[in-house]
Amino acid sequence: LKNLKYFDPEAICFYAAWFSSLVLLWKIIPGKKVFGSPLNDMGDKLEYKMNGFYTFLIVMAGVFAAIFIKGPSIMLFFFDHFFGIQLTSYIFAVILCTYLYISSFSGEKHLAKGTQNVHIYDYWMGRELNPRIGKFDWKQFCELRPGMREYIKSKW
């Protein structure tokens, strides 16, 4: 692995810890339960837990605590490993999208309107309307949590 020019184990560990901690915070922080739009003529609606703002506050408190304890230089990690973090997030996204695309063919799934049966288009746009594992909705979670907070942290 030493010969791999862009291999950055610290960035991989950071991204894995970052994503895992966001999933853990989604799980343990209470949030308001809301229902989405009707999925079909029967009026079935999915339930969502809305705790993103509280997650954001906890993450930012953690960032401020790290800066207070270790000093502002701790934020240099993001600059030193910027490419590795971006590459890791891209590879993770491709793996996750591939998993979600393949799993959309199993069982009875609510497919997104506009699927074209063109594999590249359906892969890119998302074939399944609400890919879930239990109550965990991948689209709702990944829409902003991992990326937006990372963007905010990297801008400091």
pLDDT (tens digit per residue) in 68-124: 999 999 989 988 999 999 999 999 999 999 999 898 888 777 777 666 678 888 887
110 falls within a domain: yes
CB count within 10 Å of CB 134 equals 5
34 falls within a domain: yes
The residue count for the chain: 156
Structure tokens at 100: 């979600």
Phi, then psi, of 55 in degrees rounded to 5: -60, -45
Classify residue 131 as exposed, middle or buried by CB count within 10 Å of its CB (0-12, 13-18, 19+).
buried
Residue 106: the pLDDT is 85
71: left (phi over 0), alpha (psi -120 to 50) or beta: left
Does residue 25 have a pLDDT over 90? yes
Tell me the three state secondary structure of residue 7. Answer: coil
Residue 3: the pLDDT is 65
Classify residue 85 as exposed, middle or buried by CB count within 10 Å of its CB (0-12, 13-18, 19+).
buried
1 falls within a domain: no
3 falls within a domain: no
Q: How many domains does the chain have?
A: 1
Residue 67: the pLDDT is 95
Residue 12: the pLDDT is 96
4 falls within a domain: no
90 falls within a domain: yes
Which residue range forms the structural domain that includes residue 82? 9-154
User: Which has more confidence, 153 or 37?
Assistant: 37
% of the chain beyond a pLDDT of 90: 45
85 falls within a domain: yes
